[in-house]
């Protein structure tokens, strides 16, 4: 059916490639292109026998900060879609290349300028008209959160509510990799996200908090009680627009005391700073050095045991009566590793990226412009989650996060 150019060769890319190869009727050909060719070749070697090796896999070296280089690769490879699973810093250069060549675009994380640690959709929403005029689709945030959590909200809106008032997005990871300190995905992106001020959406405006200021404890299905902290997260921005009438949206993530103690120390000594310092005649951002010292997230796969549970608690009105709905996915780190050689954080991001690309290639999710995932019909995506490794569960009587709602 189609040909995909996959940019990036990290933990998430590894899952996307495995999942594309498991679906060779849709992904007949793929090219893995990233900064380090050896990583692309290693992923290629690991999928040689997936589904009988029916998907034709190529690799290419690519600097995705360089739009001209991406354009050249797109022109020579001629993909039907570009799946961006490099870093958020490359979103705009890749979108520019897609515009120049008339090819559909998909990513899993929104653009963040390297010098400003703040996720905002304004940079990518500015491409809406240009994509519309070019007749191509740009699908933003087709990972888990953003991604599946946004689709969960669209599904709830479509099937269970007349009005949604409150959304709590809960991201719990009870995985244990045995290291004192490591991040489950790119350390720089992860640490920038956690050390930034928190925020939530209430009555049409952002309410800002100190980093990790608001903490609660929640008893997660299959995971038990975990500490959760309120964070700013990118899907709040688009859901506030796309879920009409919503009054409050919050995002919560679990962190262990051990993780936060290490983070506090690293922060206090300046190791998480993005401001470059002079070191032996060289400019270096401490966080880049820290990334080099920490375990590569891709290496956590074989060591991580336990499960993740990510979902949404949604409250609102149906037929004049209050209704509460909890929809979530539970994913097992070890099972993910067994299947694709990556842990659950990469798995829960890579599977939705493949599903988004599949729906676009099949023409099911396709219209000119730039869209967040919740702007499309959630049903085919929800069905595909059950089929491709991320089954979801639902409950109409969950424990609520707090009484004040």
Q: Which chain residues interact with ligand NDP by CB under 6 A?
A: 8-13, 34-36, 39, 62-65, 85-88, 90, 108-109, 143-147, 185-186, 189, 297-298, 345-346, 349
Torsion 317-318-320-322 (CA) sign: negative
Least separation in angstroms between residue 227's CB and ligand NDP is: 20
Residue for token pair 């490639």: 17
Q: Is the Cβ–Cβ distance between 173 and 183 less than 8 Å?
A: no
Range 258-265, long-range pairs (CB < 8 A, 24+ positions): 258/180, 258/181, 259/181, 260/212, 262/180, 262/181, 263/181, 263/191, 263/194, 263/195
The one-character DSSP state at 234 is H
Q: Is the Cβ–Cβ distance between 251 and 205 less than 8 Å?
A: no
Neighbours of 180 (CB within 10 A): 10
Cβ closer to ligand NDP: 36 or 256?
Answer: 36
Angle between helices 234-242 and 148-159 (to 10 degrees): 20
Least separation in angstroms between residue 328's CB and ligand NDP is: 14
Instruction: Please give the torsion angle defined by the CA atoms of residues 143, 346, 15 and 71, in that order, rounded to the nearest 10 degrees.
Output: 60
Least separation in angstroms between residue 259's CB and ligand NDP is: 16
Cβ closer to ligand NDP: 316 or 341?
Answer: 341
Type and span of the H or E element at 217: strand 215-220
Tokens read off for 364: 């099911």
What is the DSSP secondary-structure string of 9-52? -SHHHHHHHHHHHH-TTTEEEEEEEES-HHHHHHHHHHTTTGGG
Least separation in angstroms between residue 342's CB and ligand NDP is: 9
How buried is 100 (Cβ within 10 angstroms: 0-12 exposed, 13-18 middle, 19+ buried)? middle
Q: Which residue is nearest to ligand NDP (CB)?
A: 10
What is the DSSP secondary-structure string of 256-294? -HHHHHHHHHHHHTTTT--S-EEETTEEE-HHHHHHHHS
Cβ closer to ligand NDP: 155 or 185?
Answer: 185
Residue of 51, 74, 36, 141 lying closest to 370 (CA atoms): 141
Cβ closer to ligand NDP: 62 or 167?
Answer: 62
Those residues with Cβ within 8 angstroms of residue 192's Cβ, 6 or more apart along the chain or in another chain: 112, 117, 274, 287
The span from the CA of 172 to the CA of 384, in Å, is 22
Least separation in angstroms between residue 63's CB and ligand NDP is: 5
Cβ closer to ligand NDP: 146 or 286?
Answer: 146
Least separation in angstroms between residue 338's CB and ligand NDP is: 19
Least separation in angstroms between residue 192's CB and ligand NDP is: 10
Least separation in angstroms between residue 401's CB and ligand NDP is: 21
Radius of gyration of the chain (CA): 20
Cβ closer to ligand NDP: 315 or 343?
Answer: 343
Type and span of the H or E element at 94: helix 91-101
Cβ closer to ligand NDP: 10 or 378?
Answer: 10
Cβ closer to ligand NDP: 156 or 191?
Answer: 191
Least separation in angstroms between residue 271's CB and ligand NDP is: 18
Least separation in angstroms between residue 65's CB and ligand NDP is: 4
Cβ closer to ligand NDP: 115 or 278?
Answer: 115
Cβ closer to ligand NDP: 24 or 147?
Answer: 147
């Amino acid at each position: 059916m189609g040909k995909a150019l996959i940019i990036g060769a990290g933990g998430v890319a590894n899952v996307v490639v495995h999942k594309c190869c498991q679906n060779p009727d849709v992904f007949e050909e793929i090219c893995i292109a990233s900064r380090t060719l050896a990583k692309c070749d290693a992923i290629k070697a690991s999928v040689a026998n997936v589904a009988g090796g029916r998907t034709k896999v190529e690799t290419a070296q690519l600097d995705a900060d360089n739009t001209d280089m991406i354009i050249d690769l797109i022109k020579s490879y001629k993909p039907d879609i570009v799946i961006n699973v490099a870093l958020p810093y490359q979103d705009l250069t890749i979108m520019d290349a897609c515009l120049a060549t008339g090819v559909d675009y998909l990513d899993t994380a929104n653009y963040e300028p390297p010098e400003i640690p703040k996720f905002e959709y304004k940079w990518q929403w500015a491409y809406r008209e240009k994509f519309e005029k070019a007749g191509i689709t740009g699908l933003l945030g087709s990972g888990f959160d953003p991604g599946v959590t946004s689709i969960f909200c669209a599904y709830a809106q479509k099937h269970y509510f007349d009005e949604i008032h409150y959304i709590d997005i809960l991201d719990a990871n009870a995985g244990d990799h045995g290291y004192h300190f490591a991040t489950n995905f790119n350390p720089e992106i992860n640490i920038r996200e956690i050390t930034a001020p928190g925020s939530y959406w209430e009555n049409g405006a952002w309410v800002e908090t100190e980093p990790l200021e608001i903490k609660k404890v929640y008893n997660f299905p299959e995971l038990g009680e975990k500490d959760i902290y309120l964070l700013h997260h990118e899907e709040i921005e688009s859901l506030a627009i796309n879920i009409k009438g919503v009054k409050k949206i919050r995002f919560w993530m679990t962190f262990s005391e051990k993780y936060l103690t290490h983070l506090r120390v690293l922060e206090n000594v300046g190791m998480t700073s993005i401001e470059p310092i002079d070191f032996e005649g060289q400019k270096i951002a401490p966080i880049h050095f820290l990334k080099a010292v920490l375990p590569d997230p891709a290496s956590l796969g074989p060591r991580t045991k336990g499960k993740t549970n990510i979902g949404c608690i949604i409250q609102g009105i149906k037929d004049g009566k209050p209704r509460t709905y909890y929809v979530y996915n539970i994913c097992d780190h070890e099972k993910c590793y067994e299947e694709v050689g990556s842990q659950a954080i990469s798995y829960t991001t890579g599977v939705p990226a493949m599903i988004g690309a599949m729906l676009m290639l099949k023409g099911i999710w396709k219209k000119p412009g730039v869209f967040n995932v919740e702007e499309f019909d959630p049903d085919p995506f929800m069905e595909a989650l059950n089929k491709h490794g991320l089954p979801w569960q639902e409950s109409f009587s969950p424990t609520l996060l707090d009484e004040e709602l």
